[in-house]
Amino acid sequence: MHVTAIIAAGGLGRRLGGDQPKQLLSVGGRPILERSVAAFLGHPAIDALIVALPQGLVDDPPSYLGPAVLDGAGKPVRLVAGGDRRQDSVANAFGAADAASEIIVIHDAARPFASAGLIARTIAAAAESGAALAAVVSRDTVKLARRLDWVSETLPRETIYLAQTPQAFRRDVLALALAEAARTPLDATDEATLVERAGRPVRLVQGEATNIKITTAEDLPIAEAIARSALAPARTGRAGTGYDLHRLVAGRPLVLGGVTIPSPTGALGHSDADVVCHAATDAILGAACLGDIGRHFPDTDPRWKDASSLDLLRRAVALVAGQGFEIGNLDVTVVLEKPKIKDHIDAMRAAVAAAIGVDAARVSIKGKTNEGVDAIGRGEAIAAHAVVLIRAV
């Protein structure tokens, strides 16, 4: 089943105020948009990603949507210009989706805390029912006012649900809804509304209280609190270690953490020889007792010739997820005499974090030299050590 995710980030967030689109603001030290993109880019059920942005951001995207990250994502990523309305932005993105897409998942960029489990549940429900949205039941007594400031009726709160995203649809269902919406001036605040208007049923999936939408300035302290809780030490169940070493030769690119580092020499290997991803892959597989990278991606298999190691890492995470585990945090040490990699650390962390489906705050990458000792010290080789913690879902 081919699944394409659309991140709706085409608005300017005027209700929040400020001099920049709200999706570019940071919570917990990380941009809102980056968090939302990473949740889907790193999800094993997502095959392609489309981000609808204001035209200015398409022309000059932030670093986490730049070529260094997207080229190593291991799945197609497209940036498209949004429209005047949300449904116009989604329609533009839908038009850019691969024809092979069977399920389209739509998510608000302003909801940066959707969990991997919520994304998976919504996709599964849409595949079965045609249309599904995440929603939470109202916790408060609900009053209906037909005149301003006057209660007309009290509604049973157990029948009232507050809609969230992600929302997921079979391609034909969403295509019909968008086509009908294009023929009417009516505006809609979500795609489920368009599907309802087209006469199709929409299934409810249990949402999450932490999956808040950042709309006004009052939402920012709540988002900061959620982000801080996500940065707290994770409860972990298992640890794994990984190690990788490659010779350095002229004429090969030096790829580390999915980022190509300017260097006269690169690592020699069957794939792109990315020691950061190889060590991390071994650590993750080892923590789940699933063997090593050579068992799953042997260099005798032509499928992995010149393969992106970020893709191999993503596949390893999917294998571990199939055993009921998710990543707690990852720490990688690169041992390399030269070039220095400190200026590329942030891009590497972002790319690796997206591949394993966690916040970049849970990925550490450090560079060390071997002080001129042995093959690494002589500049003939590069190595990496990795430690990962995983936990039961």
- For 14, the 3-state DSSP assignment is helix
User: What's the confidence (pLDDT) of residue 29?
Assistant: 83
Question: Which backbone phi and psi does 387 adopt, to 5 degrees?
Answer: -130, 130
Distances (CA, A) of 220 to 10, 85, 165: 20, 24, 18
Q: What is the Cα Rg of the chain in Å?
A: 23
Domain extents for the chain?
A: 3-231, 238-392
CATH topology of domain 3-231: Spore Coat Polysaccharide Biosynthesis Protein SpsA; Chain A (3.90.550)
Return the C-alpha torsion angle 195, 199, 203, 204, nearest 10.
70
User: What's the confidence (pLDDT) of residue 97?
Assistant: 94
User: What's the confidence (pLDDT) of residue 45?
Assistant: 87
| 3-state helix vs strand vs coil in the chain, percent to 5 | 35, 25, 35
Angle between helices 116-129 and 32-41 (to 10 degrees): 60
C-alpha span between 334 and 368 (Å, rounded): 6
Query: What CATH homologous superfamily does 238-392 map to?
Result: 2-C-methyl-D-erythritol 2,4-cyclodiphosphate synthase (3.30.1330.50)
Report the candidate in 111, 113, 157 with the shortest Cα–Cα distance to residue 137: 157
Per residue in 328-339, is it b (16+ CB within 10 Å) or e — as a string?
A: bbbbbbbbbbeb
Question: CB within 8 A of 95, min separation 6: which ones?
Answer: none
Runs of H (alpha helix) within the chain = 32-41, 55-59, 67-70, 86-95, 116-129, 171-182, 191-197, 219-231, 275-287, 293-296, 309-322, 345-356, 374-377
242: part of which helix (H) or strand (E)? strand 238-250
3: part of which helix (H) or strand (E)? strand 3-8
The bridge status of strand 363-368 relative to strand 325-335 is: parallel
Distances (CA, A) of 184 to 180, 181, 200, 292: 7, 5, 17, 56
User: What's the confidence (pLDDT) of residue 231?
Assistant: 61
Integer distance in angstroms from the first to the last C-alpha of the chain?
23
C-alpha span between 138 and 289 (Å, rounded): 42
Q: What is the pTM of this model?
A: 0.65
Report the candidate in 368, 378, 372, 380 with the shortest Cα–Cα distance to residue 336: 368
C-alpha span between 204 and 116 (Å, rounded): 17
Return the C-alpha torsion angle 276, 48, 66, 363, nearest 10.
-30
Q: What angle do CA 185, 186, 191 make, to 5 degrees?
A: 125
Bridge partner residues of 142 (DSSP)? 155
239: part of which helix (H) or strand (E)? strand 238-250
User: What's the confidence (pLDDT) of residue 228?
Assistant: 81
C-alpha span between 231 and 10 (Å, rounded): 28
364: part of which helix (H) or strand (E)? strand 363-368
C-alpha span between 351 and 257 (Å, rounded): 7
Which tokens go with 229?
Answer: 């809780």
C-alpha span between 90 and 99 (Å, rounded): 16
Local mean pLDDT, 10-residue blocks, the chain (393 residues)? 93 64 84 89 87 91 77 80 88 93 96 90 94 93 86 90 96 93 82 92 94 91 86 68 96 94 93 95 92 88 88 89 84 96 94 91 95 93 96 74
Our measurement of the distance from residue 52's CA atom to the centroid of its chain's CA atoms, rounded to an integer in Å, reads 15
Q: Which amino acid is at 139?
A: R
